[in-house]
Amino acid sequence: MVEIGCIELINRVPTGRTFHAYFNPERSMPLAAEQVHGLSDAFLADKRRFHEHVEELLAFLGDAPLVAHNAQFDFGFLNFELGTCGHPEVTLERMVDTLALARRRHPGAKHSLDALCSRYGVDRSHRVLHGALLDAELLAQVYVELTGGRQIGFELAAMESHTAVELTVFRPRRRAFRPARPHSASAEEIARHKAFLESLDSPIWAR
């Protein structure tokens, strides 16, 4: 781990409190990784190690739920570093994964952070490279949209009113009994029908 960035949300609103730190990984930086986040060996050389920041980080996190995109990936790095410092791992029960939320809400769509920013109109024009604190700020806005947007109160009110609606039970309408109408042909009608048949010239049933 070379960087971590966190912002605090209370009732889905940023409070302005943040935590941001770079770490010296005590190993060389692969070129492919540097091209993603722009953090070179020279930049990280004078940064503190993770264990020198860990108490500050844990104090910031407290026991709050932790929102992350593809959270299991991030938790893997975080828990590895915590383990090397002799600290207990962060339990998965605290994990809120916006990737899983996006997949449930928008099945079949693209679910990258960039794609979700585009979907919800979150400005990411200043995101040139992957940066932990910037990504946390963007993700906070995406998380708010994934969980109902700024007008979540309206959505909750609709849900509450929906639960109060009684089920409509189908009840068949009662109808008065009426006896069947007479439908047999009278003797006169039968005689007229017979006379009509006899008047036909070469009917097919007589062939």
Q: Is 121 left (phi over 0), alpha (psi -120 to 50) or beta?
A: left
Which pLDDT belongs to residue 128?
62
Q: What are the residue boundaries of the structural domains of the chain, listed by start?
A: 3-151
Query: Which of the residues are catalytic?
Result: 130
Which residue spans within 13-149 are E strands per DSSP? 13-22, 66-68, 95-97
pLDDT digits over 127-186, tens only?
666 788 999 999 999 999 999 876 555 444 444 444 333 333 444 456 666 777 767 788
CA distance 162 to 149: 20
pLDDT digits over 59-113, tens only?
999 999 999 999 999 999 999 999 999 999 999 899 999 999 999 999 999 999 9
CATH of 3-151, one of 3.40.50.720, 3.30.420.10, 3.40.50.1950, 3.40.30.10: 3.30.420.10
Helix residue ranges, H only, 85-148: 98-105, 113-120, 132-146
Enter the pTM of the model.
0.67
